Structure formats: structure tokens, C-alpha cells
Amino acid sequence: MQDRPTAAELLETIADLLEGDLLAATQGPLRHPVRVAGNLCRILEREARLGPSQEHREQQLLRELLQRADGEPTELNAALDQALAAGDDATLEPRALPVLVEIVRGKLAIAKPGHDAYRGEPADDDVPGAGTR
């Protein structure tokens, strides 16, 4: 493992180059793939920076929800899926919803920043007829 620059810093530099000088110098149909490559570098940069803590938080939340002392996120998600499908615990679904929303927010902070701000209330433009009389 290298000290500096970190993988996140390298990816940020590549994204800056792609979205800056290279995109500005590119014309025609090549502009879209250059823009996509820059965006992919940004996602990977955020994953390198935020991913470990997000995964740890997901693991912690799922362990608490399922009342388990161990388990990796993939295993815990599968266990939650099975428990919800079984329907043996009527309190599980309402307890799981805020946990799953928090987990998805963490994933959105990496994949699509800004979309992680959703707090459960639909915007007026998401509700048919809202804001009109």
C-alpha cells in the first residue's frame, strides 16, 4: 500500500483531468464516454474514501436489527431477506425500514451524492396533483 497519493486522490486527479482539459478538448461522440469515465472515477474515489465506513455501519445496523453478534453484510442481508420473507415476526418490517433507508443513504452517498438527502417525505412534484388546485 502506498502512503501518498492515496487511491482516492489518484482517482480524483484522473476525474479532474477527464472532466476538465480532456472533455474540453474532445468533440463529437467521444465527449459522452469521456464524461462517463470521469463520473466512474468520481464514484470509485468516493467508494475508496467512504466505502469502508459505510460497510461497517451497514454491518453494525444489520447486526443490531437481527440481534446477531457476528456476520458480514452479505450474509446479514440474506438473513434479513429470509426473515422478512418468512413473516414470522410482525415487528420486523417496521423495524427494518429505517435501517434499510439508512443503508441505502450510505450507498447513495457513494453512487449518487445528493440523492442520499431523502428523508421520507415526497417532494410536491413526486405526488400527482400536489401543488395544484
Query: Could you tell me the pLDDT band of residue 33, with boundaries at 50, 70 and 90?
Result: very high
Return the residue matching grid coordinates 486522490. 9
pLDDT in tens, 5-28: 999 999 999 999 999 999 999 999
Structural domain boundaries in the chain: 7-119
In a 3-state reduction of DSSP, which class is residue 24? Answer: helix
pLDDT score of 118 more than 90: no
Confidence at residue 125, expressed as pLDDT on a 0 to 100 scale: 58
Mean pLDDT to the nearest integer, 116-123 = 68
**What tens digit of pLDDT does each residue of 64-114 get?**
999 999 999 999 999 999 999 999 999 999 999 999 999 999 999 999 998
Whether this model's pTM surpasses 0.85: no
For residue 22, count other CB atoms closer than 10 A to its CB: 17
The three cell numbers of residue 132 are: 395544484
